[in-house]
Chain A
Amino acid sequence: MKRDIPDLAGGLLLSVIGVFVLVYASTQYDIGLLRRMGPGFFPALLGGVLAVLGLMIALPAIARKGAPIRIAWKEALAVLSAILVFAMGLERAGLVPVTLASVLIASIAAPDRRIGWRLALALIVTALSVVVFHFGLKMTVPLWPGQ
């Protein structure tokens, strides 16, 4: 029997977050009184509620069978690394090279892995983003490295 891992792990994680928020808010910030709440009151209350809800999700899941989940590792990796490359490179390398690179990375995850359409798509998207964001919206970002 496979356990209901998402609910079990997810519930426990939420509980941990809840306890952390409760402890952090009540030690770092002033709780105040009910009539004059401090900045810690609302977050501490929410942290407590989240901790309880997390347990309500996790505890029943211990004995329960779960539906199998399929994680799209390849897709997630390609998409997230494309964004990270974009974030790191935008100000240093400029809009044109970083867009080309990010589209090529993101499209690795597509079912069709040939390079031709990916290059074409990278060129189209780069042209579009230069036109829309550089010329259209006048965003101040370098187009090429060293600008």
Chain B
Amino acid sequence: MSGWEGFLHGLSVAVQPDVLIYCVFGVVLGTFVGVLPGIGAMATISLLLPITYYLSPEAALVMLAGVYYGSQYGGAVASILLRLPGTPQSAVTTLDGYPLAQQGRAGVALFTSMISSFFGSFIGIFVLILLSGVLASAATAFGAADYAAMMILGLVAASTIGAKHPAKGLAMVVLGLILGCVGTDVNSGVQRFTFGQTELMDGVNLVALAMGLFGVAEVIANIHVAERTGVPPRVALRDLLPSRAELRRIPFPALRGASLGSFFGALPGTGSTISSFLAYAAERRISRHPERFGNGAIEGVAGPEAANNAAAISAFVPTLALGIPGDPIMALMLGALVIHGVQPGPLMLEARPDMFWGLIASFGIGNLLLLILNLPLIGIWVSMLRIPFRWLYPAILIFVCLGVYSVRGSSFDIFAVALIGAIGYALSLARFNPALLLLGFVLGPLIETNLRRALLISRGDAMVFLQRPIAAAFVIATGLLIVMALVQTIRRKSRGAQEAA
């Protein structure tokens, strides 16, 4: 099926009422949690995981994806109005969005962010269609060794690129991999690390893990922080309209941001947060008036917002085409698919075209909905910022408990959430990234299976990872990343020593 035909077929799936309604629900909920500081897409998707048991896999995926890219739209609202990023991806939008708001141009900044987000998403969808077809057909040549090497590259990239403490990131990934070992070993049937608990035979519950790490831990950390929000200014509909001169400053930054975003989004390990920062840096560098940046430059809103939305869409490339999530949110999506017995990967395009193209078409519909809903409703979203967090978090906690209980009717899982939540909070206090733990947890069983298979085929010859060209490329890239991380750490240490002396 060619790209265009596939997209049309996908549209016929995505406009079915029982899929469309979850698309609408997803993007509206996504915008809502994006707007609110204190709860993000990660926590919301974890919270929705149990509900997906009641849905078709298509509807479930469309809804969860809608939450993700919807939150990218919403995230900009608090960034611009309160200088408080609603999501980490929109942190860079505060730099120029907030000054614009202080100059009374909040409406224009919001309009710029919405329209650039929309633009970025469409470039992202285009790249997704283009790349996943190519990648999926190339991936049929992948063997077990190639898969294992690629997943390890993904994990190392996610924990080292742009990280201040690569060792801490890697440690989280490895801890996640170990947690992924808990339960019945598929190859031998041996119970690993269950310590006699029958509840652990199926492994650590993904829903409990995600809810504990993101729902509970984020609530604890945010009860105090999120209460200190200021009062957002009122934004009327006509404030949104930019002047002609301002309008002319949107398209090119948005195009550059979208290209950067779709490239880095598709790479494992670099997601939408990094692309938004890169887009901002790029805009400032090529601008003829770099002094405007930080004082309310439209370009400083348009570029990053286009970049983070494009990256949010193109992040689906490795997830759908290879079955390998490049970032923790994609890991949750993959987890949701596995709950439904769907294994994403190169065969998915052939085996489940409805799901693949339906999801892509839903991106188009969802983004269109976000644009036409959010511009007129902007006043409502802004007033959402007045809801105090104390009204929300007890409800979030109850839904976490009931949600995790509903999966298999076991109170054990609620206790597990409390324990994991405490651990997750401790981790975030010590500045360990729990999202990387989840990434390792989801990829762990896949890596182990492929590693075992690769070495079984090669009769125990570890050189197989260097003899196959694809695997060798991934192994070399992984090695380079580790060396770079080491060099960076040592250099920082010697600089620190000089400063101390």
Known: A35-B455, A72-B220, A109-B223. A83 touches B401 (CB 8 A): yes
B2 at the binding interface (Cβ < 8 Å):
no
Question: Are the C-beta atoms of B456 and A35 separated by less than 8 Å?
Answer: yes
Shortest distance from the beta carbon of B153 to any chain A beta carbon, whole Å = 16
Interface string of B217-241 (1 = CB under 8 A from A): 0011101100100000000000000
B252 at the binding interface (Cβ < 8 Å):
no
Residues from chain A with Cβ under 8 Å of B417 in the complex: 83
Question: Are the C-beta atoms of B221 and A72 separated by less than 8 Å?
Answer: yes
A42 at the binding interface (Cβ < 8 Å):
yes
Question: Are the C-beta atoms of B223 and A72 separated by less than 8 Å?
Answer: yes
Question: Are the C-beta atoms of B493 and A60 separated by less than 8 Å?
Answer: yes
Which of B175, B223, B414, B427 touches A90 (beta carbons < 8 Å)?
B414
Question: Are the C-beta atoms of A112 and B390 separated by less than 8 Å?
Answer: yes
Known: A38-B188, A69-B429, A106-B397. A76 touches B422 (CB 8 A): yes
Residues from chain B with Cβ under 8 Å of A39 in the complex: 185, 187-188, 190, 192
Interface string of B443-462 (1 = CB under 8 A from A): 00000100110011011111
Residues from chain B with Cβ under 8 Å of A88 in the complex: 411
Chain B residues touching A, majority SS: helix
Residues of A5-28 whose CB lies within 8 A of B:
6-7, 9-11, 14, 17-18, 21, 24-25
A115 at the binding interface (Cβ < 8 Å):
no
Residues of B416-473 whose CB lies within 8 A of A:
417-418, 421-422, 425, 427, 429-432, 448, 451-452, 455-456, 458-462
B479 at the binding interface (Cβ < 8 Å):
no
Question: Are the C-beta atoms of B175 and A86 separated by less than 8 Å?
Answer: no
Shortest distance from the beta carbon of B271 to any chain A beta carbon, whole Å = 23
B167 at the binding interface (Cβ < 8 Å):
yes
B278 at the binding interface (Cβ < 8 Å):
no
- Residue of A at shortest CB range from B426? A10
Number of A-B contacts (CB under 8 A): 180
Shortest distance from the beta carbon of A133 to any chain B beta carbon, whole Å = 5
Which of B54, B414, B460 touches A137 (beta carbons < 8 Å)?
B54
Residues of B368-427 whose CB lies within 8 A of A:
388, 390-391, 393-395, 397-402, 405-406, 409, 411, 414-415, 417-418, 421-422, 425, 427
A62 at the binding interface (Cβ < 8 Å):
no
Question: Are the C-beta atoms of B219 and A79 separated by less than 8 Å?
Answer: yes
Question: Are the C-beta atoms of A103 and B409 separated by less than 8 Å?
Answer: no
Residues from chain B with Cβ under 8 Å of A82 in the complex: 394, 397
Which of A36, A49, A86, A140 touches B401 (beta carbons < 8 Å)?
A86
- Residue of A at shortest CB range from B497? A63
Interface size on A, residues (CB 8 A): 69
Residues of B155-189 whose CB lies within 8 A of A:
165, 167-168, 170-171, 174-175, 177-178, 181, 185, 187-188
Residues from chain B with Cβ under 8 Å of A84 in the complex: 415, 418
Instruction: Bin the interface of chain B by size.
Output: 35 or more
Known: A72-B220, A111-B227, A129-B399. A83 touches B459 (CB 8 A): no
Question: Are the C-beta atoms of A102 and B190 separated by less than 8 Å?
Answer: no
Known: A30-B188, A129-B398. A6 touches B455 (CB 8 A): no
B313 at the binding interface (Cβ < 8 Å):
no
Question: Are the C-beta atoms of A71 and B429 separated by less than 8 Å?
Answer: yes
Question: Are the C-beta atoms of B405 and A90 separated by less than 8 Å?
Answer: yes
Residues of A55-113 whose CB lies within 8 A of B:
56-57, 60, 64, 69, 71-72, 75-76, 79-80, 82-84, 86-88, 90-91, 95, 99, 102-103, 106-107, 109-112
A76 to B422, CA, bound (A): 8
A122 to B398, CA, bound (A): 10
Residues from chain A with Cβ under 8 Å of B190 in the complex: 29-30, 39
Which of A10, A35, A57, A106 touches B394 (beta carbons < 8 Å)?
A106
- Residue of B at shortest CB range from A111? B227
Known: A53-B167, A102-B398, A140-B409. A87 touches B192 (CB 8 A): no
Residues from chain B with Cβ under 8 Å of A30 in the complex: 188, 190
Question: Are the C-beta atoms of B405 and A75 separated by less than 8 Å?
Answer: no
- Residue of B at shortest CB range from A109? B223
Question: Are the C-beta atoms of B418 and A80 separated by less than 8 Å?
Answer: yes
B193 at the binding interface (Cβ < 8 Å):
yes
Which of A34, A35, A53, A99 touches B398 (beta carbons < 8 Å)?
A99
Which of A21, A72, A90, A106 touches B411 (beta carbons < 8 Å)?
A90
- Residue of B at shortest CB range from A11? B171
A64 to B497, CA, bound (A): 10
Q: List 17 interface pairs A-B (beta carbons < 8 Å), by A numbering.
A: A21-B178, A29-B190, A30-B190, A35-B459, A42-B448, A42-B452, A47-B178, A49-B174, A53-B167, A53-B171, A54-B171, A75-B223, A76-B425, A80-B421, A107-B390, A129-B399, A137-B51
